[in-house]
Amino acid sequence: MIIKNTDPYKIKKCIACKKDIILQEKYFTYPLSLQCICLECSLKEIPKIIEALETDLKKTEGLVKTNKKIIE
């Protein structure tokens, strides 16, 4: 999700470059995450996040298949 920093009381920092994300600046975050990524770094970081999520999905699918075989 791309959202705008509207919280004047909390300084947000990019997890990749450690730059402050100033008030009214847009940044990337994904749902249920406290991690903020500036738009410049998001171009590099989003593909890494997607790759990690795909790996986790494959592992989970393997575990589910294994558990179904054990139950049967």
Closest Cα to residue 13, out of 32, 38, 42? 38
At 31 the pLDDT is: 81
Query: For residue range 39-57, what is the model confidence (pLDDT) as tens digits?
Result: 999 999 999 989 999 999 9
Range of the domain at 16: 2-71
Longest dimension (CA), the chain: 56
Using DSSP, state whether 11 is helix, strand or coil.
Answer: coil
Give the chain's domain count.
1
**Predicted pLDDT at 72:** 58
Spans of the chain below 70 pLDDT: 67-72
What global pTM score does this model have?
0.69
